[in-house]
Amino acid sequence: MLTNMARRRTLIRAGRVVDASTNLGPAVILLDGGDIVAAGFPTDIGDVPDAEVLDLPASVVMPALVNAHCHLDLSNLDPRPYDGDFSAWLDGIRTGRPTADDAVAAAVRHGIHLSRLGGTGVVGDIDGRASGIPARELRADGLAGVSYLELIGVGPSRKRAMATLDDAARWPVHETGCVRMGISPHAPYTCDTGIYRAAAALPAPMATHLAETPGEADSIDELVEVLAMRPVAAAHVNYATDEQVRQLAAARTTVVFCPRAAAYFGHRSHGYRRMIQTGVNVALGTDGLPCLDRADRLSVLDDMRLLHRRDDADPVALLRMATTAGAVGLGLDPDLVTLAPGPIAGLIALPYDVADPVDPFVQVLLRDDAPAWVVR
């Protein structure tokens, strides 16, 4: 990994470079410090005599990934089996999730570590206790994104939710630093439309869980007016009619599809391709570690691989979902996760077989290698 790059020009020579709109090889990326100057074929860039050269002839180099929906504070809980009883499963999560501040911080740090192992440069993380601890840990690491304070608006929790909204109204409109604070009413069955309207009226980024189960499909209709107020990152949306999809597109809602989590809970027929065709911005998320299939990394790379292998999903569409679509859904500059000139959230490299005629990025989707950081 390249480090101490503040005053260094570096030329990365890679077997292949890809982003949401680029697939070139062999290719080069010229960096000035941590910013991209140019990316293209070697003849496009020419000689750069003052640059340090990094050769990666058997690697695909690409932007760091965006995990647009995760629960880092559940990273103390390993993946576990699911027997179909969601209430019992949820009780187990509530019992096992950390509550003490130091335990929450430790869980989030572990989640950040697993995210970095998975090549993640940007997250949309749900702060389940609305404590601010995850945001603090994200800033300490430098992992960019949005930390959403989760609101529960039923029973005695409603008063606290309203107090959080009052506090959020005083947040700076233009935050500096790598992490923004956001608001996330948990779901329509735990927050009434009053909570949603108050959250939507704020300038802070907004997220929610939406239509995760068949019984929640009507919640899209209930929230259609709120969703039309401003862009929202809606996690899951496993169940939506064609008309509801059109409403989501018109409202500029980002759907954050969590493929492995959906498969884990038995939600088999997500309409992500139909949504994209209708104009919905569809990003990728992992959800929490307990509903995933591995504990050694936390990355939408594995969700991309699942969709390509299971659904023969288009590699370019997958890369867009895992980078620029996620950045847009979080309200961030999508160029942070492209090869366009300017600042970047990071670059990662994945190996491929140069003797194999299959497209190198397709090889990446068919293999199981972990990414290596090139720039972080």
| Conformational region of residue 294, where left means phi above 0, alpha means psi within -120 to 50, and beta covers everything else | beta
Fold (topology level) of 9-63+338-375: Urease, subunit C; domain 1 (2.30.40)
Mean pLDDT by 10 residues, the chain (376 residues): 66 97 96 94 91 96 99 95 89 91 97 99 97 97 97 90 91 81 96 95 96 92 94 98 97 98 94 98 98 97 98 98 99 97 97 98 98 96
pLDDT at 172: 81
* Amino acid making up residue 373: W
Q: What is the pTM of this model?
A: 0.96
Show the tokens assigned to 359: 């497209």
Report pLDDT for 347: 98
65-313: CATH topology is TIM Barrel (3.20.20)
Domain locations along the chain:
9-63+338-375, 65-313
- Residue 312: its pLDDT value, please? 97
Query: Distance between CA atoms of 70 and 68, rounded to whole angstroms?
Result: 7
pLDDT (0 to 100) of residue 176: 66
